[in-house]
Amino acid sequence: MSGDSWFTVRWEDEAVALIDQRLLPSEERYLHLRDVEAVALAIEDLVVRGAPAIGCTAALGLALAARTSTADTPEALIADVDVAARRLARTRPTAVNLFWALDRMRTWLANAAAGGASAQVLRDDMLVEATELVDEDIEICRKLGAAGASLVPDNARILTHCNAGALATGGYGTALGVVRAAVEAGRRVSVLADETRPFLQGARLTAWELDRDRIPVEVITDNMAAHFMGTGEVDLVIVGADRVAANGDVANKIGTYGLALLADAHQLPFYVAAPCSTIDPDTPDGGAIPIEERGREEVADFGARPVVPDGVAVRHPAFDVTPAHLVSAIVTERGVARAPFGASLAAMLRPACGSSAGS
Ligand code: MRU
């Protein structure tokens, strides 16, 4: 997994450093971004993607904004950071971790400034706070993985969609974190990775990082999932999430809803793995989750090759919503939540009794 030999996102050489996920698996190249606009464009262009990784990148982006600000008072520094936060908030609307990370960093800055710190101290400490957020994300994924590993039997054949791995988080992954934890617990598993049209996160990214870890993985096109469920070659489905509404409805990469319906039809468990920062208590249900619409070219072109005639329109919702009744369980760093999700997720988000929400 990410760590010694590669990483998804970190602070390096006074810059936000990202592996360029657009180039994987052909090329492992790192970008070092030194201004907030470059960070915002990297999120928009899917250099970095995956809800928790977007949150980590945004936190480091705000630390970058503070470090490059020439403000000499805390008030002026806060104003500069607010401008950066507004720009980063406009990058992608669905992944709630983005807004969670921006809020956490802005709240931290306001509190530290109220405590009397100088602009220079705030600049330095804000970077510490952002790097802690990234480190915590990895730790959270490990706890989530350990909580979910019990759902994975020996010899499990696991179907996953998109990439909810180390590349989508600070490291280790959510859905793939559960896979990794099951492997670390000694279970033999194999993964079927949906290719995930149109950006091919499954074919390019999930396959790349599992192969690096020597975890058996086979790529299938999205329209093969029903076939493999029908032939009995899938034991369970596990996916990540971009936003979980208070009632347990789950927004995730387009195609997830279809998989959940297929899993239901074949009586297979459909698990969602996501940190608590992906649960949005302010969004009552899936209908209130903003769904990002992306551009034509990702659908109309396959790589550099056009596959849709010029002048013919395309549709491109980047996410869909899986209703809670199709979800068998939601795994977080605090345990495994089951229906009724309104109650189990609310308990999970209460710090004092979060651990009692597990089943
Ligand atoms: O468009 P993307 O690649 O950012 O979409 C990512 C997903 O849908 C992931 O499944 C989700 O963010 C969970 S990542 C742990």
Cα 138 to middle of ligand 1, angstroms: 16
Compute the mean pLDDT over every residue in the chain, rounded to the nearest whole number.
Answer: 96
Q: How far is CA 224 from CA 15, 163, 193, 274, 275, in A?
A: 42, 17, 10, 25, 29
Q: Is residue 238 a contact partner of residue 147, using CB atoms and an 8 Å limit?
A: no
Strands 279-280 and 243-245: parallel
> What does the pLDDT look like over 44-69, one tens digit per residue?
999 999 999 999 999 999 999 999 99
Question: For position 351, what pLDDT does the model report?
Answer: 73
74-89 helix and 119-149 helix, angle to the nearest 10 degrees? 40
For 273-285, how does the pLDDT look when each residue is reduced to its tens digit (9 = 90+)? Answer: 999 999 999 999 9
Residues having CB closer than 6 A to ligand 1 are: 49-52, 95, 162, 164, 168-169, 174, 201, 240-242, 252-253, 318
pLDDT of 303 higher than 90: no
SS3 of 288, please? helix
Residue intervals of the chain classified under CATH 3.40.50.10470 are 147-348
CATH architecture of 147-348: 3-Layer(aba) Sandwich (3.40)
| Ligand 1 midpoint to CA 169 (Å) | 9
The confidence score (pLDDT) of residue 356 equals: 38
Q: How far apart are CA 323 and CA 4, in angstroms?
A: 39
- Ligand 1 centroid, distance to 117 Cα (angstroms): 37
- Give the list of residues 6+ apart from residue 100 with CB closer than 8 angstroms, or none: 55, 277
According to CATH, the superfamily of the domain at 9-142 is: translation initiation factor eif-2b, domain 1 (1.20.120.420)
At 291 the pLDDT is 98
- Is 45 catalytic? The answer is no
- Identified catalytic residue from 80, 242, 280, 320: 242
The pTM score is 0.96
Ligand 1 midpoint to CA 279 (Å): 14
Q: CA dihedral defined by 265, 267, 268, 270, rounded to 10 degrees?
A: 70
Mutate to test the pocket of ligand 1, among 252, 293, 330 (most ligand atoms within 8 A of CB): 252
Q: What is the mean pLDDT of residues 299-317?
A: 95
pLDDT, position 2 = 66
Stretch(es) of the chain classified as CATH 1.20.120.420:
9-142
| Closest of 58, 62, 67 to residue 83, by C-alpha | 62
